[in-house]
Amino acid sequence: MDTIIDIRNLTKRYGYFLALNDVNISFPRGKIIGLLGPNGAGKTTLIKIITGLVKDYSGVVLVNDKPIGITSKQIISYLPDKDFLNNNWTCKYALNYYKDFFNDFDEDKAINLFNKLDIPLDKRFKDLSKGTREKVQLILTLSRNAELYIFDEPIAGVNPAAREMIFHLIMENYNKNASIIISTHLISEVEDVLTDFVFINKGKIIRSGDVSETTHLENKSLNDIFKEEFRCF
């Protein structure tokens, strides 16, 4: 299997708290992968390690067969689970910041998306609604021609209509040669777009596989399989 991420014997502690416990998993290249588990399962910690934001851990993490570092960060476009733009920035300033910082940023694509969603470029981030701020951050993330996109809880705290819009934006605008990881606890909302899944709980990988094969073999939805797997926890 051609992989974009390989993880071996990954363990991460915060003091006495074991956030990740001997994680071994490979993420296939060119797939849309759901990193699925309840809140506090270890999803965000795992993502922060992959993106290079958390460095104090034991084990091996490779992205494109290389250790986490400058090279791996250059190919990852990451949307965190919290606002990351300066409140005093205008949308235009944020766009220019991304253009200057990332060599793979497609300015024309970003401007087209801002116009399509009727988001004024002269608006300051702090003057936008929560939903519009999320759209701005999503536009900037998707306007990079990355090899790996990582979305951490992109639909948490938004209404069903907004969730549909978010997935439409992602599926219509990501680099089709890339891999995607979507972290969420809302399995029923994402299973239709996923090709592969990884179940995580209490810092351990519970199960992983191909969505179509697994749901066909068990004659159940991924959401139902998730509920059964996590019933024992």
The pTM (predicted TM-score) of the whole model is: 0.93
Overall number of domains in the chain: 1
Q: How confident is the model at residue 92 (pLDDT cuts 50, 70, 90)?
A: very high
Angle at 176 (CA atoms; ends 199, 155), nearest 5 degrees? 45
C-alpha span between 22 and 40 (Å, rounded): 17
Confidence of residue 144 (pLDDT cuts 50, 70, 90): very high
Of 33-37, 66-70, 168-172, 199-203, the poorest mean pLDDT is in 168-172
Domain of residue 209: give its range. 3-230
Quote the DSSP letter at residue 144: B
In eight-state DSSP terms, residue 210 is E
Q: The domain spanning residue 14 has which CATH number?
A: 3.40.50.300
